[in-house]
Structure 1
């Protein structure tokens, strides 16, 4: 495959939830989650002139926490007013060290840090919309004002916040790429069989999202 040539006027790297809370030793660890940091740093030091980042930023007692639902265990699925919701261990707690961007992340080219999931009764996987699929985060307007047309996504986790961000970006008209080796997934069992990573990959392919590698850039 030919190398992907980047245009700093229209391309941006999205860094999704690269926080210690999702790393081994954190409250909601993604296997090998820490491995994305050096890959993302190489992208920031080289091909990408511009980047934004997101942070999960939950208040204590958030409705997506299993601890807020007596009798429920983490990773159970419950019905919320906005639809099915996975219940997670408490994570991304506002103001905690584990909710900060990973200290090893090179932030020099990160121009926006967007905090999501701060509404107590509404979770937020996507960088563009809360999980009700209506409440916008404001990222789309920020990108439009800068003339961005192509998004290259990295971070955690492939099957949740990265995938939902990629889906929304594609529906909003961006050309979207997921940098596979700059992401890691959770991989819960999917209702239709396989894992949530498999299901996310199918959904993204159907929307024309391209899966690429960090070595694919000119």
Structure 2
């Protein structure tokens, strides 16, 4: 068992899978592997993040007249991608995927619930109107449990997974991406994602089966 490492599963929700409101490329392909990894009980601490938006969230394209999904606009001095409505609180698409056994989770962290601030990372929300990125409290929660290393999987590799990894590394955790248990919004971003991770000193584990 990885005594001082935690597994963080990011946004494994139907809305990010084929047929969902904001489908990632082959997003459903990671579900069996994630369930299998949890069943192996390799980590003393396991965390799931869950995108959990109110209706009319500021990141939804329809809330900005004349805008289209995937367009970028300035918001609070930073670029904000506009998305289709997704992971609306209480909808089936926002649920954690039913084909994963989530009973072993130590923490389910809901994010993106503030109507005026988007939230990609499990560690910090995006920039808000005061210019700061509020903490979710995850870093402190992990440190209190003696965690100094994190392994991250989930969706989307080029957005919420990437931001979670970057924030983990910035907070002083040794961070690794389980590449085969993540998928991007579009595979066109994979080369850039690898470059960004390597530049930040974040490890890439090509197969979760290599974990012991």
TM-score class, shorter: over 0.9
1:43-79 deviation digits (Å, cap 9, x = unpaired): 1111234310001111111110101011111000000
1:15 is the counterpart of 2:39: no
- Report the alpha carbon displacement of residue 31 of structure 1 after superposing the two structures with TM: 1.8
What secondary structure does 2:66 align onto?
coil
Measured in 2, the distance between the counterparts of 1:59 and 1:121 equals: 10
1:71 partnered with 2:70: no
Give SS of 1:158's match. coil
Assess if the C-alpha contact under 8 Å between 2:25 and 2:186 holds in 1: no
Distance 2:133 2:82 in 1: 21
Count of equivalent residues: 206
TM-score (norm: length of structure 1)? 0.91
Q: Quick check: 1:15–1:54 contact (8 Å CA) kept in 2?
A: yes
Equivalent position SS for 2:190: helix
Counterpart-to-counterpart distance in 2, 1:156 and 1:30: 7
The whole-number CA distance in structure 2 between the counterparts of 1:155 and 1:16 is 5
In the other structure, the counterpart of 2:99 is 104
Q: Is the 8 A contact 1:64 1:123 kept in 2?
A: yes
Distance in 2 separating the partners of 1:139 and 1:59:
21
The answer to whether the aligner puts 1:179 opposite 2:178 as a matched pair is yes
The answer to whether the 8 A contact 1:49-1:109 is kept is no
Is contact 1:11–1:152 with CA below 8 Å preserved after alignment?
yes
In the TM superposition, 1:63-212 aligns within 5 A as: 63-132=58-127, 134-187=133-186, 195-212=188-205
TM normalised by structure 2 equals 0.93
Q: Which ranges in structure 2 are unaligned for 5 or more consecutive residues? A: none
Question: What displacement does 1:84 show?
Answer: 0.1
SS of alignment partner, residue 176 of structure 1: strand
Per-residue displacement from partner, 1:141-169 (whole Å, max 9, x unpaired)? 11011111110000000000000000000
Root mean square deviation, CA, Å? 1.3
Matched with 2:34 is: 40
Query: 2:181 aligns to what SS in structure 1?
Result: strand
Runs of 4 or more off by more than 6 Å in structure 1? none
The Cα of 1:202 is off from its aligned counterpart by: 1.4
Q: Distance in 1 between matches of 2:195 and 2:201?
A: 10
| Deviation of the 1:82 alpha carbon | 4.5
Tell me the residue number matched to 1:3. Answer: none
Which position in structure 2 is the counterpart of 1:61?
Answer: 56
**In 2, Cα distance between the equivalents of 1:56 and 1:201?**
24
